[in-house]
A and B are shown apart, each in its own frame.
Chain A
Amino acid sequence: MWLFDRDLWFEIFHTLGKNMFRTFLTMLGVIFAMIILVLLLGSANGMSNGFNKIFAGTASNSLFVWGQQTSMPYKGFERGRRIRYKIEDAEILKKQIPEIEVLAPRIELASHRGTVTVYRNGQTSGSAVYGDYPEIDNITKKKLVEGRFLNQTDMDHSKKVCVIGEETYKLLFDKGEKAIGEDIRINGVYFTVVGIYKPNNNINIDGENAVFIPFTTFQKAFNSGDLMGWMAIAVQENTPVPVVEKQIKDILKAKYDIHPDDERAIGSFDMSEIFNNITAFTTVLQGFSFFIGIFTLLAGVIAISNILLITVKERTKEIGVRRALGATPKIVKRQIVVEAIVLTTFAGLVGFAISVGILSIMDSMWGSGDNFPFVKPMISVPQFFVSFVLMVGLSVLIGLLPANRAVRVRPIEALREE
């Protein structure tokens, strides 16, 4: 196997080593190309990871539905009627739409996005107050700094417990004060704090200044009866959210006598849309990085081919001698192509090492992704292999150019005395 032929490698390194400086300059093109390719890809990956981190804990295939005011008169109802759902709707929807995986109803004190005053030992906060099902945690995960989230037992026994946001904690408690087990007062009812969650830079639908109490407790404490204000719905993985969204709206419209064309009566928010947009964005970004990187790489490899062409010209005589001594065109070609591959591969690896170093530095500087979606910027193993195979493939193709030039010169011309 010629690949393990010591003499071939000896000759290749000899010719390359003979012109160290030129060899180095030649390689610079590929080194930079590889750096650019890896940095671009790595950054694109970092951004993709960053976005993923932001949305970590939020079910991507989910939507939220709430009631608004009608905008069209229908069946004798005037426009401007406020739509309020009933808790039974949850069961109806779940039964009729099997694609729904989780449905967590919610009710709010005061109107949507409104706040109520929460008291504790003379301190107050204007917070949103939600009555929630524990299942909500499967859709919008709360990062707890202390304690726990609401659970089924709280629901079953309508326990007067609550989970509060960090912002709420700051308003109601002194710095460092223990909150778990303490009571806070909402509309004259006392609730025991069982958990504190912190903002996690995610999509924060609920805000950081909020109090979560079990749905059943809410019903009893604030006499909300069978009303329900809001639904968080997780849809099966491979079902498009808009399809389910339409089904839900159709069912609700029929039930609450809303005009089928009334777009404003039911408010909804499709989470998957954002995810799809971001996925599309990062995919385009990666594709673009690859595109630029590959062309830069091509330019670098062409530079190598160029230098090899010059080398071939300089070595015309030597090649002539070799052929007179019995080197077949195949042997001559092979040597030059392997030179191209060796140069490119080595340069590529150097560039790769440098860029991976730069990426690690970038990672340690901004990689935490707290203020900017940029987490673990690094290229993946398949990406590395694809770029590498492409690079070597290109170098073979481009190496054939000087190789053919070398073979085209007939030995007699190469040996002609000056």
Chain B
Amino acid sequence: MIEIKDLHKSYKMGSNSLHVLKGINFKVEEGELVAIMGSSGSGKSTLLNILGMLDGADSGEYTLDGVPIKNLSETKAAQYRNKFLGFIFQSFNLINYKSALENVALPLYYQKVPRKERQEKAMQYLDRVGLKPWATHHPSELSGGQKQRVAIARAMAAEPKVLLADEPTGALDSKTSYEVMDLIQKINDEGNTILVVTHEEDIAHMCKRIVHLKDGVIVEDKKIEQVRAEQYV
């Protein structure tokens, strides 16, 4: 599903440049649930941004579902993001003047799905994260866990190839974190490919594979026995 070969990325910081990713080689198969771990500054967010086409790599190859991702225009990148990727952010990033339903429907709007169909589909996904009764509520009326579930529904609404979660539990207490992870696991159970960036060990162990980044290189890449979040909920 995802294939990265010798990926390099550096940032210019004034006169000196900061080499963040120093040759990443990495492959994700369909249906995997991968945790990308690392301390801050290890390059894990940069990697996720490149995977999410929010940022470009300096060199290296990136193939997503057989499509080479290289030198994309902003418009093309936006279209690919919409088609291939679903984003889950640490701070949820819901649009606060839109209801839960409208937030979920937004990616479908950019897919030019007709309004009625959009609403139905969004409602369907909202139902899947268990928030159907909250459809008309605005983000300010939702708890953190609920917000993240709306965000997950939104990420899934466009039926992307890969879900990218950047510290999805970073802003949540542990109980809510497990609820969210439980949801992510269930989505993965249905065959969706998910990448989770985290620095929390327990969250990482709820995935099926952990990739450890340190100073811009992968230091460890291992399959693990998945800890089900269900038991903590």
Contacts and interface: CB of A to CB of B under 8 A. Distances in A.
Nearest to B170: A417
A326 B83 CA distance: 8
A6 B114 CA distance: 11
A330 B78 CA distance: 10
Contacts of B79: 326, 328
Nearest to B52: A324
Of A326, A329, A331, chain B has the most CB atoms within 10 Å of the CB of A326
A128 B54 CA distance: 94
A120 to B, nearest CB: 87
Nearest to A407: B74
Contact of B82 (A15, A326, A411): A326
A207 B156 CA distance: 91
Interface string B85-107: 00101110111011000000011
Contact of B75 (A15, A320, A328, A415): A328
B189 interface: no
A375 B54 CA distance: 64
Interface in B34-70: 49, 52, 54-55
A332 B49 CA distance: 21
A140 B79 CA distance: 76
Contact of A14 (B54, B81, B83, B97): B97
Given A325-B154, A326-B78, A326-B81, A18 B111 contact: no
Nearest to B85: A324
A323 interface: yes
A327 B95 CA distance: 14
Interface in A1-56: 6-7, 14-15, 18
B211 interface: no
A328 B74 contact: yes
B97 A330 contact: no
B95 A7 contact: no
Given A14-B97, A325-B154, A326-B110, A415 B54 contact: yes
A167 B140 CA distance: 83
Contacts, number: 65
A410 B72 CA distance: 13
Contacts of B75: 328-330
Nearest to B157: A325
Interface in B145-159: 154, 158
Q: Give the interface size class of chain A.
A: 20 to 34
A327 B93 contact: no
A397 interface: no
B115 A7 contact: yes
Interface in A402-418: 407, 410-412, 415, 417
A79 interface: no
Interface residues of B, number: 28
Contacts of A91: none
A321 interface: yes
- Judged by DSSP, the binding face of A is helix
Of B75, B78, B79, B95, chain A has the most CB atoms within 10 Å of the CB of B78
Nearest to A317: B93
Given A325-B110, A326-B79, A412 B55 contact: yes
Contacts of B154: 325
A156 interface: no
Contacts of B110: 322, 325-328, 331
B109 interface: yes
A337 to B, nearest CB: 17
Contact of A6 (B52, B81, B91, B115): B115
Given A407-B74, A412-B49, A417-B91, A325 B97 contact: no
A182 interface: no
B78 A323 contact: yes
A327 B97 CA distance: 17
B49 A7 contact: no
Contact of A417 (B78, B81, B83, B90): B90
A317 B49 CA distance: 16
Contact of B93 (A321, A330, A331): A321
Interface string A381-418: 00000000000000000000000000100111001010
A15 B97 CA distance: 8
B10 to A, nearest CB: 15
Given A15-B97, A411-B54, A412-B55, A325 B91 contact: no
Interface in A307-365: 317-318, 320-331
A324 B81 contact: yes
A322 B89 CA distance: 13
Nearest to A17: B97
Nearest to A6: B115
A325 B54 contact: no
Given A326-B110, A329-B74, A415-B54, 20 more contacts: A6-B115, A18-B97, A320-B93, A321-B89, A322-B106, A323-B78, A324-B54, A325-B87, A325-B158, A326-B81, A326-B83, A326-B158, A328-B74, A328-B78, A329-B78, A331-B110, A410-B55, A412-B49, A415-B93, A417-B91
Interface of A: 6-7, 14-15, 18, 317-318, 320-331, 407, 410-412, 415, 417
6 contacts: A14-B98, A321-B95, A325-B107, A325-B154, A327-B110, A328-B79
